[in-house]
Amino acid sequence: MFSSIFLLKYGAASAQENSPYSRFGLGDIVPGQNIVNRAMGGVAASYYDPVTVNFVNPASYARLKYTTFDVGLDYTGRTLKATNPVRTLNSGYLIPSYIQVGFPLSKKRNWGMNIGMRPLTRINYELQQTTRLPGIDSVLTSFSGQGGSYQAYLGTGIGSKHFTVGVNAGYTFGSKNYVTERILINDSVLYEKGKWADSTFFGGFFVHAGAQYSTRIGKNLTLKLGAYAQFKNSLNASRKIIRESFEYTASSGEIQKDSVYISDDNRGKIIVPATYGAGITIEKDLTWSVSAEYSLSQWSDYRYYDQKDQVKNSWLFRLGGSVIPNYKSTSYWAQVQYRAGFYMGPDYIAVDKNLPVYAITFGASFPVRKYGYSLYSGQYTSINTAFEIGARGNKSNSLRENFYRISIGLSLSDIWFIKRTYQ
């Protein structure tokens, strides 16, 4: 049904992102995990190590032992397939994934901190609808949208040998810019071309919290449990609405002809729903780990100026693991940490039956210095990679998205703050 209403602006390939489902809610959700965690299916609730900044669960900051600068970059390729009529569009885009710095405040007290920024959602689509009206040959309606949301955050985690808690607090901000244009085509009568533009800018503070517990269950085995809560929050919004007629020329492009209605600086609220997650990890020291996680997002609480949207509650199940073949080996490839996993669940968009989302993931961390040496020298630098191959929708959906995502990050860890001593 979705593709019969909204037809993709056709093209064999495009360098610009085009995601029709980003029209709803706050747009397409950007992966919310560190690149290390993404390679393992996105498991993050119970994950921690001394050199990884896991911002999904701020309780993990308490386990940081080295100051770590972490930055990531994503390239996503998407193939859209519509069934009525049959059309295909390829697109791709490159975006920063996150930038952050985590550092221990007190190793003895298991106290750490993190500061960073990351994207949350993206809106980018361009669609068309063609219909017929009595006395008019056809009506061409174009829909387009751009925007997205971001977070700047500061977090801290503290705890004991077995139990830690943490909190992230910061500012969410972004925009939603929607444009609808309608052209009536007739052989004998010239109709005005109409444009409806709706631009909203929003921002507000947020608080996230998490907890983790770990204990030995064998000589070299550790059991880790974790949970996090991204609480519902209200964003202040300012909205501008424009209704106008326009004309189009080959030389000048689109030109405003008559302003029919303008409403500027309309104040309102956008309600961002809560997300809760919990997970478990079993880990063998510097050898392997296996993790599972379940998360729930309450998108039925989403409101845009007190209005609901075509969204619903969603959940995701994640499973992943990692292995280091032999960190004591002199072989470089035996010290690389390899990761793999998958995730699955229903999407939060509710416009075309049930919209399943699923993907397999894999990747690795490539140490710049020998792992065993760097572990004891206080320096550890790695190039982290993650690859995702998945889909949103299946053969029962009229519009399906197949995607792949390549994520590359650089993690630089060192003891930055050393008290100098003299002999």
Domain ranges of the chain: 2-414
Residue 35: what residue type? I
pLDDT of residue 215: 97
pLDDT of residue 4: 44
pLDDT of residue 370: 56
pLDDT of residue 373: 44
pLDDT of residue 107: 86
Q: Name which of 281, 8, 1 is nearest 126 in CA terms.
A: 8
pLDDT of residue 246: 78
pLDDT of residue 204: 97
Indicate the pTM of the whole model: 0.89
pLDDT of residue 135: 66
pLDDT of residue 153: 97
pLDDT of residue 86: 75
pLDDT of residue 254: 72
Q: Which residues of the chain have pLDDT under 70?
A: 1-16, 135-136, 187-189, 249-253, 369-378, 415-423
pLDDT of residue 59: 98
Residue 255: what residue type? I
The terminus-to-terminus CA distance of the chain in angstroms comes to: 78
pLDDT of residue 112: 96
Cα separation values, 115 from 48, 101, 157, Å? 17, 6, 12
The domain made up of 2-414 is a member of CATH 2.40.160.60: yes
pLDDT of residue 345: 97
pLDDT of residue 1: 46
pLDDT of residue 191: 73
pLDDT of residue 250: 65
Tokens of 397: 């959906």
